[in-house]
Structure 1
């Protein structure tokens, strides 16, 4: 299912349905009818967030069904990311299967170094000229400013220590940092294992405080696109 389709569905269940219904057992029953008991597991997952072990965290993500084929990014976000790559090296943190890296390489054929990072890289596609590194976003095994552009899409909403994660992304980015998160509200029962919710662009700006002088933060079809320049 394409991201554009799920964003239309999200509009209905997040913005049209009233919170009293969205958090109700009736909604849970309907959601389980369509998606099974995994939605209950997700609710318990968020409730236990401060107490989860690393193994529990990894296990849920291994078992979490993929909603989108390849990437969570919409076509509009992909086009924007590809057009905003700066410099000759790029690192996609939270690369998943490597689908976004395929678009980045195709749109920027002169890149000298392309790296994908995820804490599980078992299903990452073997792309020519792409290196994969297994690591957690909170502790990236790279030097300060090692990559000209660092990209991180649909990851920050999953990370409990998200400020530490953003600090690490900034640390390894020499020229530019690009982050995409879903624009969504928190409810008890959701279809994704998210810890952090950003209903407005200014909600995300609070998360990345302090914001540098040169930045972009805008809504692209229910996803928040954020870019900051790291130089001078």
Structure 2
């Protein structure tokens, strides 16, 4: 029996990669899907594929780094019903380069999406969850925060800040029966990663040697963990970061 039947979930960055995988996992569990992404053509293609699988899908093209655009999109999406779950997945994955080569505008872009975009989405959805008596906010962070790989200072900083934001939000929103948690996925060569890491396939092979579970990661591994945090079984979990990497990093 679908475990999220009659639930409605907003998923940002849902056009491709992990976001699209999360959307499919939620659809499989019976949730109605509200998909946000600035890549409108890809978003609509993903939505059509999910509809062919029999899932209820609405799309709202939106750049989460624009707070006014976020407000408009959330208001429009609210016309279709309640918001039980917000999955914040939209992110910029910048090219790998040393910190002394990073330009101010590159830092600004990463932070505007990965950190501020997450805040704008949470702020816009909160009043709706408050009125309905609760909800779940799940942010996609990154395991990179825990081991600080060279060449990714802007990305690592944005994801570390995201986890800090989630912890404060968990404190502030708990009285409204809203839980806030993070998932920190392990490395996976998604389209966004491949655009800026040409050696992603080779890197994935090298990382596999250090995993406790000796098989390649799949998007479904991460998506199912996100689904878990949306279930009633996770109702008393908040302010946490769940690392999902097959046992490569123990924390």
Which structure: greater helix fraction? 2
Q: With structure 2 as the length reference, what TM-score do the two structures score?
A: 0.32
Q: With structure 1 as the length reference, what TM-score do the two structures score?
A: 0.34
Which structure: greater strand fraction? 1
